[in-house]
Amino acid sequence: MKISARKRFIGLDQPFRVAFGTISGLDVVEVEASDCGVIGRGECCPMSIYNQDADSTLAEIDAIAPLLENGELDRLTLQSAMPGRSARNALDCALWDLEAKRSGRSVWENAGLRAPSKITSDVTIGIMAPEATAKFAATLRGASMIKLKLGGEADLECVAAVRSVLPDIPLFVDVNAGWTLERLNAMAPRLADAGVFMIEQPLPPQDDRLLDEYNRAVRLCADESCHDRTDLDRLVDRYEYVNIKLDKTGGLTEGLALADAARARGFRLMVGCMLGSGLAMAPAYVVASLCEVVDLDVPLIVKDRADAGVHHDGRCLHRFTPELWG
């Protein structure tokens, strides 16, 4: 086996503001695992909020590659040989793809999952002024669900702006750890009145213990607070949902294991992603087949349409082709 990796930049068609900053694009790392002319591919998007970048990720991959190339490691033993970070995600997904191509069995067959032809997915609205929020929301009348980013200067006004044009659409908000407990307790009843069904990651992960004092007006989802199965025990009775992202779990292998373990503990499931091409959306789609809330709308916002890879029609995400991955 031969492992190779490269970084490249994926841009967005418009800058996108969240609580921790404005994103116009990000570096991703693509991995190829080749064996006897068969090539498996994977992709990850290292994020600075997790103290990762493309160069450090490439270094992690280069360090572990010889052990994969000489057969000392495979996909399963890789899980304990590397931390659950972006680097392992790209390698893990490349190995899933390689296994499918070598065996002639799809990822779906190898994972023991059904392959839905399409999955309902949300559309995200970034932090904008209320007037701009209402204008953008008015273009989303065909959407199945809206995620609204909060953590700006006019959070309630932006929620009201969405509801002024989309009064009945399922709506949840994502704070990206931008609030305090006091802010959360003040905002949650108002959000409940607006029909918001879930608040994603209201507090920084290190403040999760403060959620014991939360008024529970709206259900919560753990994003930055949930990386893998080891996080679940401390999330019980604090969050109702967990957001599974393969760059946090370190790949599809742990992502599927996390989904099973979370459901066994009574959590509801959401799947999300960092920025990426269709090569990253495809394995996330596999996890999405198990989830109640699907936040995989990146194909709608990438600047180069060739990066989309997986088709999002504004309401549903459509199943990837085996030529792309798996």
If you write DSSP's letter for every residue of 144-176 in order, what string do you get?
A: S-EEEE--SS-HHHHHHHHHHH-SSS-EEEE-T
CA atoms within 13 A on the CB side of 265: 22
CATH of 118-318, one of 3.40.50.720, 3.30.2010.30, 3.20.20.120, 3.60.40.10: 3.20.20.120
CATH topology of domain 2-104: Enolase-like; domain 1 (3.30.390)
Torsion angle of the four alpha carbons 232, 200, 108, 297, in this order, in degrees rounded to the nearest 10: -160
Terminal Cα distance for the chain, rounded: 18
pLDDT digits (tens, 9 = 90+) for 85-109: 999 999 999 999 999 999 999 999 9
C-alpha–C-alpha distance, residues 253 and 318, integer Å: 22
Return the sign of the alpha-carbon dihedral for residues 97, 268, 45, 205. negative
Task: For residue 291, count other CB atoms closer than 10 A to its CB.
Answer: 22
Token pair recorded at residue 178: 């931008």
Helix (H, G, I), strand (E, B) or coil at 273: coil
Token pair recorded at residue 22: 């404005």
Give Cβ neighbours of residue 120 (< 8 Å, ≥ 6 apart): 144, 145, 294, 315, 316, 317
pLDDT at 303: 94
- Beta-sheet pairing, 146-149 with 171-174: parallel
Judge whether residue 84 has pLDDT over 90: yes
Q: Which residues are catalytic?
A: 149, 245
Question: How far is the CA of 232 from the CAs of 7, 49, 78, in angstroms?
Answer: 32, 21, 22
In 179-198, which positions are buried (b, 16+ CB within 10 angstroms) versus exposed (e)? bebebbbebbeebbebebeb
Beta bridge partners of 148: 125, 173
Domain locations along the chain: 2-104, 118-318
Token pair recorded at residue 112: 């023991």
C-alpha–C-alpha distance, residues 210 and 196, integer Å: 22
Give Cβ neighbours of residue 323 (< 8 Å, ≥ 6 apart): none
pLDDT digits (tens, 9 = 90+) for 184-239: 999 999 999 999 999 999 999 999 999 999 999 999 999 999 999 999 999 999 99
pLDDT digits (tens, 9 = 90+) for 122-156: 999 999 999 999 999 999 999 999 999 999 889 99
Residue count of the chain: 326
Q: What's the mean pLDDT in 67-87?
A: 97
- Whole-prediction pTM: 0.96
C-alpha–C-alpha distance, residues 17 and 10, integer Å: 16
